[in-house]
Amino acid sequence: MEAALMDHVRSTAEDVRIELVLSAVPELHPYLSDPDTATWSDVREAAGTARVRLGISTDLWLKAQRALGGDNAAAAVAVTYATWAEGRIHRSAGGFLRGMVDAAVGGRLHLRASLYGLADRAKCAESVERFRRHDMRRVQ
């Protein structure tokens, strides 16, 4: 892909807030020294580590960073990781991320919407866990 196209894609990419990434993808927390004080630099480093576990190549990771910018590429890897952790990637996490990069290049990536969907899932799981703990106290 030519550099001008990558610059255009990166300049039109949605900016996502770090708080959204961290709340939507708690699966990334073990890769962070302190999720409560994590910076984008920390999240980019965590995504770089997580992508190795997912089998995402260095070439694809660099392509995602060029296409989306470092922060959004880290957020895209976080979405990929959460989707993989849920068992919804059956073949290749690299293929899933490549699809996100291709969607970004085509102007069809809605990274923020993906993160909001994951955040809703995380909130639901948290509510279920709170209810379960409350229910267990009543039984004892």
Please tell me whether the overall predicted TM-score, pTM, comes out greater than 0.75 for this model.
yes
- Give the pLDDT band of residue 119 (cuts 50, 70, 90): confident
The whole domain housing 8 covers 3-139
Number of domains in the chain: 1
pLDDT at 58 over 90: yes
Residue pair 74/47 in contact by the 8 Å Cβ criterion = yes
3-state secondary structure the chain: CCHHHHHHHHHHCCCCCHHHHHHHCHHHHHHCCCHHHCCHHHHHHHHHHHHHHHCCCHHHHHHHHHHHCHHHHHHHHHHHHHHHHCCCCCCCHHHHHHHHHHHHHCCCCCHHHHHHHHHHHHHHHHHHHHHHHHHHHHHC
